Structure 1
Amino acid sequence: MKALGELLRSAHIPVASTQQSFIVTSLCTHSNACKEGSIFFGFRGQNSDGSLYAKEALQNGAILAIIDEEASVEDHQFIIRVKNPHQTFALMNAAFHDNPQAELKLIAVSGTDGKSSTADFLHQLLSFEGIPAGLFSTTSIDDGAGKIPSPYRISTPEADILYAFLDRCRANRMEYVIIEATSHALSEEYSRLYGLTFEIGIITTLSGDHIEFHGSREAYLEAKLSLLGMIRPRGHFITSVENRELERCLTRLDSSIHAHILGLDHPYTIQTCDLHSVRGTFEGRPFTVHLGLEVFATNTLLALLASSVITAKNPVELLPHLSNVRPLKGRMQAVPNDKGVLVFIDYAHTIGAYEHLFAFIKQVRGTSRVITVMGAAGGRDKKKRSVLGGIASKESDILILTEEDPVFEELSAINGMIRNGIASKSCRVLEIDDRKEAIGEAIRLAQAGDIVLLLGKGHEQSIQRRNLTIPWDEEQAVLEVIR
């Protein structure tokens, strides 16, 4: 609990003398979660307006409601209007939890693809070195009590969840905390990371994604690049020559920040790769990673550079650790079976991820047939759907279109857009609405030695169909249909 005056001052809001002694018990974004002593924040989203519930929150016991200055709500003595409620929410949550970020060294991992993998690989490398580090990523969280699958569908949570997590990291004596930073979280609209300063900022690759939210590729890139302004003076920025926006990143950096560029400052090569491992050299020294995609090797090397900064060791000294790095659930995850079929689950859902994946498949497939199960999320960037279909069809003998997260879109419309990009006449295309049935058909059609790719869901634990959240486990679905 905190005094209202203290929280208002933390967000640079003038404090009336009558507000000084009120005690705040919680910070809420849902009116039905408000109780006596709560502060309610009414966020305006793409499909809803939380400010409309401000008076309901007050009736439920909230002592204050904070809403957007342009919200169409009648004024009230206990309603405060601010320019950006998300930023106010972040600042107040920091103060409510006694500023745990001030006692932790934060690392942000961003980019279009490879964020979760790079964050997890860094977490593993630091554990090998005995350095206590927390992790908050799409796939996993670790507040010092042990790594568990993330219970959240969003990669970077709202500030109430994030600061409660940082508070636990502090209590569990973590020294570093690795945070996956999405474009939504970095955007001014959501500002989930507002007010944080990072010791190290990592950007994997930059292309384009979430255009439906940002409005344009340029706005998306600006959100991502805003991370560079959140790195502390004399901090560290890590990226690779594969980052298409490398020059733009470097021009945005404060002159005091140390840049580490994989492939430029630290030369590396990829020599051989197969479905289960990649071998190459780093600064002339050989390395092996037991991961099934070339891009994963790049991600481990980015993590290696970050661990080198943290440990103050030459990265070559840490190179032997790479052979012990383990893959993430849902990231080119092999599913063993008695049928002799090579089944892989992967979260690929962006153009960049498809390009990397299918370039790799072309390189390693040999004479094997490729059967791909894919879809596209409803309400997301529609322009990429045909591109994904085109990329997948070029290297797939059979392409099965199914649900990913259709939400409120008609699945037939989503699949129709994917079909529009399919130019390969040799690729057989099927549509099976139910994802488990689609996986079952892929397994039924597969012969020993064939490659089956299940794309789009990865680690996710649910499928969104309109207002329904359907429990889902891709690996379990495979095991059930392959028996």
Structure 2
Amino acid sequence: MHRSIDYINILKTNGLLVSYNCGEETDIKGLTYDSNEAAAGTLFVCKGAAFKEQYLKDAAAGGAVIYVSEKLYPDVDIPYIQVNDIRRSMPFLADLFFDSAFKKMRLTGVTGTKGKSTTAYYIKTILDLYEKSVKGPETAISSSIDMYDGLKRYESHITTPESIELFRHFKNAADSGIDFFTMEVSSQALKYNRVDLVNFDIGIFMNISEDHISPIEHPDFEDYFASKLRIFAQTKTALICTDSDHFERIKDAAASSKKVITFGTKPGSDIYGYNIRKIDDEIHFNVKCDRFDREFVLTMPGLFNVENALAAIAAALCYDIPEDIIYDALRVARSKGRMELFSSNDKKVIAIVDYAHNKLSFEKLFESVLAEYPGRRIVTIFGCPGKKALLRRSQLGTLSGKYSDIVYLVPEDPGDEPAELISKEIAGYVTAEGCPYEIFEDRGEAIEKAIMEIRSGAAGSSVLLITGKGDETRQKIGKEYIPCPSDAELVQQFLFLYDKTAVLK
């Protein structure tokens, strides 16, 4: 346990301390920015543009003994530590409180516009199989899908948690005897200091494309790209994809890491993927590197997943995982809500549930579907979030209109913005491509119609692309997250009805 003077000194050393009036020998027993978590001995952090003085009063009532803030609150009767930058301060506080726990594990960070979750889960599947072979524990993960740290497992709300939560997960994992921790690293996490002080044994840069540009995210592409590139400054071994746009700039930034390894489908890549083909429902490809030249197989759909697999292979080789374990793991690897494939018994309905939600992921998805299911009618079911990533509305509307036979527009975390207005804005870009559309208030209604109209004979054999939410079971409406069935659950529900009516007929 550390005392208040330890926190004062770490902030002072790093140029963050402004003033303090607390005692120097106070035992700090807890660290949080959530007033509901405050208990006896808590160091409470006042953060965020929406912070209210009442939160601090509630924390004090719960037992907080000191607060850390950029602003002073003279009406709250507990001592303070004043700082000049609360976001930069948080990682120092968290690292001290949780004893730099990440240093006890091998840490992999994955960033990029597309493929972070699937790559993270490919890596986790490989590492889990390796740990099983040596009687080790399940490995930890922090992703936009879910979190597992040895003690807690839950569905995620955010790609990369705030630093206090993240460092707590590191501590839980280290205390659980976990050796590997794999995490997605968002541009927001890099820009707003959530992963400051964290040193990645491996940092993977998948790709870059225009996304997350809005008044509450990044003002422009340059800010977004520059934020992503920050990962290399805290990475030992950088893995970069030769297929990415802006590769030369990525390569130059990666030079700040101690070692750089390339992967991709371009000749000359250190981990080179080639001879990519689909055989029945499997994707076969060969990989050539300094250790082997052999075939690998994915049973998860999507030709674009080869790039994600190459990243995972590169990471596994850095950790000296045996190639047979890599092969066996990739053959069964899955990522919840990513390229989940469902079909009716008569094969007239192929439904793909995927998290695709930006320009690059839509381009890759349509490219793969057109190659894997030529001649089939395409129905795309999607929406866009409220008040952020605003360019998606034009980009995804245009792409879906270009490649779909019909588009069904649905809510997708509209937040404070009316879902119907978002859909109408997207619809303008869909119709500009000459594609018909319908707007639905409920995702389930759109999925039901897309499936059952094929049963009725109103439409022929189709591929349904249901994107944006994946396996998520909540919709953000207003300020609240409202429970709802996942897209995968809805697809299975209506395919069961489709098959059942076929039997009755």
TM-score (norm 2): 0.86
CA contact (8 A) 1:275 1:364 kept: no
Measured after TM superposition, the shift of residue 254 of structure 1 is 4.4
Q: 1:418 to 1:273 in 2, by over 3 A?
A: farther
| Root mean square deviation, CA, Å | 2.6
Q: 1:10 to 1:262 in 2, by over 3 A?
A: same
Q: 1:89 to 1:75 in 2, by over 3 A?
A: farther
Whole-angstrom CA distance in 2 between matches of 1:254 and 1:362:
37
CA contact (8 A) 1:291 1:297 kept: no
Measured after TM superposition, the shift of residue 327 of structure 1 is 1.8
* TM alignment of 1:199-238, pairs within 5 A: 199-212=201-214, 213-231=217-235, 235-238=236-239
1:342 aligns with 350
* TM alignment of 1:177-192, pairs within 5 A: 177-187=181-191, 189=192, 191-192=193-194
Q: 1:275 to 1:220 in 2, by over 3 A?
A: farther
Q: 1:72 to 1:78 in 2, by over 3 A?
A: closer
CA deviations on 1:212-237 (whole Å, 9 max, x unpaired) are: 21211111111111100011xxx211
Q: 1:432 to 1:423 in 2, by over 3 A?
A: closer
Number of paired residues? 470
1:420 aligns with 428
CA contact (8 A) 2:163 2:195 kept: yes
Q: 1:143 to 1:425 in 2, by over 3 A?
A: closer
Whole-angstrom CA distance in 2 between matches of 1:439 and 1:118:
28
2:315 aligns with 306
Q: 1:256 to 1:415 in 2, by over 3 A?
A: closer
1:92 aligns with 93
Whole-angstrom CA distance in 2 between matches of 1:8 and 1:413:
49
2:127 aligns with 126
Measured after TM superposition, the shift of residue 59 of structure 1 is 4.9
CA deviations on 1:66-123 (whole Å, 9 max, x unpaired) are: 223xx48669872333222123222222222222122122111111111111111011
Matched, 1:385 2:393: yes
Matched, 1:328 2:329: no
Q: 1:347 to 1:18 in 2, by over 3 A?
A: closer
Matched, 1:462 2:470: no
Measured after TM superposition, the shift of residue 342 of structure 1 is 0.8
What letter matches 1:175 in structure 2? D
Whole-angstrom CA distance in 1 between matches of 2:21 and 2:379:
68
- Report sequence identity in percent: 24
2:6 aligns with 6
CA contact (8 A) 2:206 2:241 kept: yes
Matched, 1:268 2:273: yes
* TM alignment of 1:357-372, pairs within 5 A: 357-372=365-380
Whole-angstrom CA distance in 2 between matches of 1:296 and 1:275:
16
Whole-angstrom CA distance in 1 between matches of 2:397 and 2:375:
22
CA deviations on 1:394-446 (whole Å, 9 max, x unpaired) are: 22112100111111111222112211222566532111111111111111223
TM-score (norm 1): 0.89
Q: 1:276 to 1:426 in 2, by over 3 A?
A: farther
Whole-angstrom CA distance in 2 between matches of 1:44 and 1:303:
35
What letter matches 1:228 in structure 2? F
Question: Structure 1: which 5+ runs fail to align?
Answer: none
Q: 1:444 to 1:164 in 2, by over 3 A?
A: same
Q: 1:343 to 1:253 in 2, by over 3 A?
A: closer
What letter matches 2:491 in structure 1? V
What letter matches 1:460 in structure 2? E
Q: 1:460 to 1:320 in 2, by over 3 A?
A: same
Measured after TM superposition, the shift of residue 57 of structure 1 is 3.5
